[in-house]
């Protein structure tokens, strides 16, 4: 049977991704290539108690269909946190629950991108965003990440020369580079965007994970009605519950809601209720402090190892990733292959550049491996370098 | 701010759907317009025990990220049920977990439909499918549902005259009509499709809900390599868990998996594990028997009321819906409005016809309202008829 697939689906996946997938399942390989939060830091007791309370108190209602927008008490919790933590006047009516913030990327693509629409993003940029947007066949423009965020001159030219539907970026602890936009850069980008007709799609998966615990004002603060902001419980509570959200102006949210309904009716209700109960019974701030203290240590340890290897690298202020630059003439793809032979996986920078680049960079995840795994993995990486 | 939405999103939702939505939230209105399974039949104790066991035994692993294809033991349960119940040689490698079978509609649209692609479906057809497919801008052809399934002559002409990417249908207890394809019709449609290049997309949300408990052989049996079959736990265990699946030939599943990953990485892991545990510790067959016994009674009761009102209607063999035809000259939209005034909601047939039709039909859900609500609601419907 020869199936008639849509034009967007005639691409076949690369063998590199298959290999990466195989490697990520091999327990003998220490992986810096993934993007998992530290399993040991998931508050199992807290979630177990919350789950029992929900099934006790809500009963069958927790297992029935619900509305597409999401469980109102959860949307209220999210709005309140924006108000209290960042001073942003969020209301539940502007918030929609999704299956982790990855779903925001797909639905934003669906409602903003026709074939040939122009969109912008960072280079390097989040691989999951490139994947999600590409299926709607846009023309993707990129702006390089430099010190303090996207290059403002290149950004300004892009906004003036092309009718972008949106610019997608991760201002806090970016995936993959670990860069955080400076406050000044945020203001500057907001000035450029004002009156331009280009929305800013702000992915804030990591904004709660600053090592110093201090929140940074999001682009949403500078461009309230022009910014679509996404967030997630995956990195601060538990990814397996698959709950994130979008916080967007009402005209966007109406379309988003329609697309979400067509996509899967609504997100898991039991998980939404568990999260509300968890947030009522536990201090999220204290829990996050525990997570960031561990991540700060692991990040420091990896940076020390990379320094010892003589590699330059970004210095993340938080999040889960950093990026290292290889010595001239070293191929990240070759290093990946040698690494796998030595029992360690790193992620070449290449897939983070939709138009090529990143041959001499690697992304390193510091949240998932334990201290012991970091030490052993970095030894193996040294061996891989020597083999090159 | 004027946002630049994609071409597929310039449509604004109709005021009728807003009204329907309002009505569905009004507790003073008895609703036959929704599509919820009976809340009282959700096995709360069984799910509570399964949940506690999962969190006890799997611990934090139940709350971490997992692979896109879904939890292997759940895919094994699903494959085994196809083998044992229907004699179909399903294997876990051909099964992918999704957020309820609605997500299959969206992803199938994404991987099969380019703007202007031809697809086919039943008229009347499932509203959620029309919504999901329409966002990918196909040309939709319809085949009328007659006695025993889609009109075979019209079906044959359609398959011969247009290069369909797929034909979407619900052979068992169709939503909205309540019709079940006869075995003979299934064989006939399969013959027409053989060698045609048109896939059959078989939505089997209701195949476990036959009142007589006897399984019908799906189209997948007649066209193994040409059929993409979707299923769901929403109607037989609990909708709030949002877990369904697709069972498809590998070339389709590869693309489906890629699109699922871009859409939301994976489905809720905790729910997947709860379902496996539930299926291990409980008899699904006995539970389904309990459900169908109740639905059979409720369906019979509604049919009796409709007979007393002098309305012709379909005679479902199972599922959750039936369709009634109004006396000549009666508008279903007018009946909807009069019904709301009298405190009862029915669903006009109109939105189930992408190209118009259904003005004189209504869909009635018999799974959700209680016996008392059915009796009271039908009294109110009689009042609405008198007011017309």
Beta pairing partners, B242: none
Query: From the candidates B65, B245, B278, which should be mutated to test the interface with A, based on the most A CB atoms within 10 A?
Result: B65
Q: Which of A321, A341, A322, A323 is nearest to A385 (CA)?
A: A341
B199 CB neighbours in chain A (<8 A) are 1, 3-4
The pair of three-digit structure tokens given for residue B275, joined into one six-digit string: 């379902």
Q: Nearest C-alpha of chain B: how many angstroms from A57? A: 12
Residues of B in contact with A196 (CB under 8 A): none
Give the Cα separation of A217 and A86 in Å (integer): 6
- d(CA A45, CA A63) in angstroms, rounded, equals 22
Topology (CATH) of A13-42+286-387? 3.90.1150
Please give the average per-residue pLDDT across B224-238, as a whole number: 98
Q: Which candidate from A48, A65, A241 shows the least CB-CB separation from B239?
A: A65
Residue B281's Cβ-count burial label (10 Å; 0-12, 13-18, 19+) is exposed
CB A292 within 8 A of CB A211: yes
Q: Does the fold of domain A44-281 match that of domain A13-42+286-387?
A: no
Are A233 and A241 in contact by the 8 Å Cβ rule? The answer is: yes
Q: Is A249's CB within 8 Å of B1's CB?
A: yes
Residue with tokens 């697309």: A259
Top CATH class, A44-281? alpha beta
Q: Which of B1, B99, B112 sits opposite A225 (nearest CB)?
A: B1
The answer to whether the CB atoms of A44 and B60 lie below 8 A apart is yes
Q: Tokens 């390097």 sit at which residue?
A: A124
pLDDT 10s per residue in chain A (388 long)?
A: 789 888 876 555 556 767 777 787 789 999 999 999 999 999 999 999 999 999 999 999 999 999 999 999 999 999 999 999 999 999 999 999 999 999 999 999 999 999 999 999 999 999 999 999 999 999 999 999 999 999 999 999 999 999 999 999 999 999 999 999 999 999 999 999 999 999 999 999 999 999 999 999 999 999 999 999 999 999 999 999 999 999 999 999 999 999 999 999 999 999 999 999 999 999 999 999 999 999 999 999 999 999 999 999 999 999 999 999 999 989 999 999 999 999 999 999 999 999 999 999 999 999 999 999 999 999 999 999 999 8
Q: What confidence tens digit (pLDDT) does each residue in B341-388 have?
A: 999 999 999 999 999 999 999 999 999 999 999 999 999 999 999 998
Q: Please tell me the distance from the alpha carbon of residue A303 to that of residue A219, in angstroms, as a whole number.
A: 29
Residue found by looking up tokens 């004189």 in the block? B360
CB of A98 within 8 Å of a chain B CB? The answer is yes
What distance in Å separates the CA atoms of residue B37 and residue B74, rounded to the nearest whole number? 22
Q: In what order do the strands lie in the sheet with B118-123?
A: B95-98, B244-247, B227-232, B199-203, B164-169, B118-123, B139-146, B149-150
Is residue B292 within 8 A of residue B211, CB to CB? The reply is yes
Residue of B nearest to A257 (CA): B13
CA atoms lying within 13 Å on the CB side of residue B111: 25
| Nearest CA-CA distance, residue A329 and chain B, Å | 33
Do B360 and B184 contact (CB within 8 A), yes or no? no
Average pLDDT in the B90-105 region? 97
pLDDT value for A21: 73
Q: Flag if A98 and B264 touch (Cβ within 8 Å).
A: yes
B131 touches chain A (CB under 8 A): yes
Interface pTM (ipTM) of the complex?
Answer: 0.95
Thinking of the domain B12-42+286-387, which architecture would CATH place it in?
Answer: Alpha-Beta Complex (3.90)
The encoded tokens of residue A381 equal 């990486």
From chain B, pick out residues whose CB is under 8 angstroms from the CB of A48.
55
Does the structure show a pLDDT above 80 at B266? yes
Residues of B in contact with A263 (CB under 8 A): 102-103, 106, 132, 263
CA distance linking residue B379 with residue B373, whole number of Å: 10
Instruction: Give the gap in angstroms from C-alpha B328 to the nearest C-alpha of chain A.
Output: 33
Residue B104 has which token pair?
């299959």
pLDDT confidence of residue B14: 59
Per-domain residue ranges of chain B: 12-42+286-387, 45-281
- Measured over the CA atoms of residue B214, residue B103, residue B266 and residue A98, the dihedral's sign is negative
Phi, psi (degrees; rounded to nearest 5) at A58: -90, -25
The answer to whether B223 and B193 have CB atoms below 8 angstroms apart is yes
| pLDDT value, residue B10 | 58
In Å, how far is B262's CA from the nearest CA of chain A? 5
| DSSP 8-class letter at B212 | T
- Residue B43 φ then ψ, to 5°: -80, 80
Q: Check the CA dihedral A26-A99-B101-B197 and report its sign.
A: negative
- Give A159's Cβ-side CA count (13 Å radius): 23
Q: What is the 3-state secondary structure (H, E, C) of chain A?
A: CCCCCCHHHCCCCCHHHHHHHHHHCCCCCEECCCCCCCHHHCCHHHHHHHHHHHHHHCHHHHHCCCCCCCCHHHHHHHHHHHHHHHCCCCCHHHEEEECCCHHHHHHHHHHHCCCCCEEEEEECCCHHHHHHHHCCCCEEEEEEEECCEECHHHHHHHHHHCCEEEEEECCCCCCCCCCCCCHHHHHHHHHHHCCCCCEEEEECCCCCCECCCCCCCCHHHHCCCCEEEEEECCCCCCHHHCCEEEECCHHHHHHHHHHHHHHHCCCCHHHHHHHHHHHHHCCHHHHHHHHHHHHHHHHHHHHHHHHHCCCEECCCCECCEEEEECCCCCCHHHHHHHHHHHCEECEECHHHCCCCCCCCEEEEECCCCCHHHHHHHHHHHHHHHHHC
| The pLDDT value given to residue A10 | 57
State the Cα–Cα distance between residues B104 and B319, nearest whole angstrom.
Answer: 19
Q: How far is B341 from chain A (nearest CA, A)?
A: 24
Tokens of B378: 């039908």
For strands A30-31 and A344-345, give the pairing. Answer: parallel
Q: Would you state the pLDDT for residue A358? A: 92
Q: How confident is the model at residue B231 (pLDDT cuts 50, 70, 90)?
A: very high
* The listed CATH number (3.40.640.10, 1.10.3720.10, 3.20.20.370, 3.20.20.60) that belongs to domain B45-281: 3.40.640.10
B231 phi, psi to nearest 5 deg: -145, 175
> What average pLDDT score do residues B274-302 get?
98
Residues of chain B found within 8 Å of residue A115, distances taken between Cβ atoms: 115
SS3 state of residue B101:
coil
pLDDT tens sequence across B20-68: 777 877 899 999 999 999 999 999 999 999 999 999 999 999 999 999 9
Find the residue in B nearest to A196 (Cα): B1
Compare CB distances from B258 to A3, A13, A262 and report the shortest one's residue: A13
With CA atoms as reference, report the closest residue to B205 among B85, B351, B100, B124. Answer: B100
Q: Which residue has the higher pLDDT, B111 or A23?
A: B111
């Amino acid at each position: 049977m020869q199936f008639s697939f849509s034009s967007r689906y005639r691409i076949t996946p690369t063998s590199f991704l298959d290999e990466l997938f195989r490697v990520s399942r091999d327990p003998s390989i220490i992986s810096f290539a993934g993007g998992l939060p530290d399993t040991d830091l998931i508050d199992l007791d807290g979630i177990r108690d919350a789950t029992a309370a929900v099934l006790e108190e809500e009963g069958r209602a927790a297992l029935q269909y619900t509305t597409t927008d999401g469980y109102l008490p959860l949307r209220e919790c999210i709005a309140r946190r924006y108000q209290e933590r960042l001073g942003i006047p969020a209301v539940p009516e502007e918030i929609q629950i999704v299956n982790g913030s990855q779903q925001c990327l797909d639905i934003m693509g669906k409602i903003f991108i026709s074939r040939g629409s122009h969109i912008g993003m960072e280079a390097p940029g989040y691989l999951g965003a490139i994947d999600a947007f590409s299926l709607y066949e846009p023309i993707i423009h990129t702006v390089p990440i430099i010190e303090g965020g996207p290059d403002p001159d290149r950004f300004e030219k892009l906004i003036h020369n092309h009718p972008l539907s949106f610019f997608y970026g991760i201002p806090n602890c970016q995936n993959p580079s670990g860069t955080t936009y400076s406050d000044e850069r945020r203001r500057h980008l907001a000035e450029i965007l004002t009156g331009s007709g280009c929305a800013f799609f702000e992915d804030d998966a990591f904004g709660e994970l600053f090592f110093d615990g201090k929140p940074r004002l999001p682009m949403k603060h500078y461009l309230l009605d022009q910014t679509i902001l996404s967030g997630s419980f995956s990195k601060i509570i538990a990814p397996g519950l698959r709950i994130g959200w979008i916080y967007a102006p009402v005209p966007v949210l109406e379309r988003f809601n329609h697309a979400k309904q067509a996509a899967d009716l609504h997100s898991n209700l039991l998980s939404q209720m568990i999260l509300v109960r968890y947030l009522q019974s536990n201090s999220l701030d204290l829990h996050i402090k525990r997570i960031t203290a561990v991540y700060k240590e692991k990040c420091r340890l990896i940076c020390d190892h990379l320094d010892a290897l003589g590699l330059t690298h970004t210095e993340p202020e938080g999040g889960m990733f950093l990026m290292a630059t290889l010595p001239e003439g070293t191929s990240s793809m070759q290093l990946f292959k040698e690494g796998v032979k030595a029992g360690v996986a790193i992620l070449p920078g290449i897939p983070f550049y939709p138009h090529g680049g990143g041959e001499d960079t690697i992304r390193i995840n510091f949240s998932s491996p334990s201290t012991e795994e970091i030490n052993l993995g970095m030894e193996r990486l040294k061996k891989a370098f020597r083999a090159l």
